[in-house]
Amino acid sequence: MTDKELEEIGDKIVNVLKTIYDPEIPVDIYELGLIYDVFVSEEMNAKILMTLTSPNCPVAESLPVDVEEKVKTLKEINNCEVEITFDPTWTSEMMSEEAKLELGML
């Protein structure tokens, strides 16, 4: 697998992540800045490092499962693991310009 092919699969994963929304905020989890990193191994396994808006987030249990399930729908991906971290702690500064605009923060 070439770096270019891995990059294309990474882009497909990002496109999937952009279809998943935080239920309390009308912005997808990627634009919110909740996704810290996306890894794809040579074995076509994805690992996603993400955070939540707070440790007490009401979707702390369901959101990572939703991310795993949706990423696994990509035919190129064999498996997906989501790791939740709170280091660094999420802040509104991590949101994209698009998300800030959508939420009236610009």
Residue-wise pLDDT tens digits, 36-62 = 999 999 899 999 999 998 888 888 889
* 49 neighbors 58 (Cβ within 8 angstroms): no
Measured CA to CA in angstroms, residue 59 lies from 2, 24, 75, 98 at distances of 36, 9, 26, 23
- Residue 68: the pLDDT is 97
* Average pLDDT over every residue of 74-86: 96
Sheet holding 35-40, edge to edge: 35-40, 45-50, 79-84
Global pTM reads: 0.92
